[in-house]
Amino acid sequence: MEQLVVDAKTRKETGKKVARQLRANGRIPAVVYDEEGKAVSIDVDAAQFNKVWRSITATTLITLNVDGKSSDAFIRDTEYDIITDSVLHADFLVVTNKKPVVRTFKIQYSGTPVGVLKGGFMVKHLPEIKVKALPKDLPVRLVVDVSKINIGDVFCVKDIDLGANVTILTPAESELISVAPAR
């Protein structure tokens, strides 16, 4: 996957009037936080930000260039106006890839279980799992192939393989899905 980049400039002025002027000039006011919680006010190009923001998940690492200095960051939060279909404000979290982070992933399923094709039905038990890893090692999304699950089979957390650098914090014996026989 290509590295997504957002260019930003630091700003000194804050407030509603300044934010309105920035938006009128095609910029979005934003704040960048570091791992200690220190904040710096910035502004980003609205078109560039929207292109990146609409194509990522909460665990996608982007490159944030603030006044020419690059760092890895997550888009932590956005304020979105549904009426005008525009982002009003954004928060970034800059990470150093030295401290592991904990994230919750919603599980996406791919394929149709063999047991469902034989007349059973799929029961989803757990909608999400918690993982711990360095930011650069986090998967973008968690997709589980369920096509080999037969009637009576159970797919557990321990059956997910995310690699050696990612630790799953959800108990290993927790059931994700099962295929029950037809009644």
What pTM was estimated for this model as a whole? 0.75
Per-residue pLDDT tens over the stretch 92-144: 989 888 888 888 888 888 888 888 888 888 888 989 899 998 888 888 888 88
For residue 180 the two structure tokens come to 């029950």
pLDDT confidence of residue 32 = 92
pLDDT confidence of residue 34 = 87
DSSP string over 76-95: EEEEEETTTTEEEEEEEEEE
Per-residue pLDDT tens over the stretch 14-72: 888 988 888 889 899 999 998 888 889 999 998 888 888 888 888 888 888 888 888 88
Q: Judge whether residue 1 has pLDDT over 70.
A: no
- With b for 16 or more beta-carbon neighbours within 10 A and e for fewer, the 124-157 pattern comes to eeeeebebebbbebbbeebebebeebebeeebbb
Average pLDDT score over residue span 74-99: 88
pLDDT confidence of residue 2 = 59
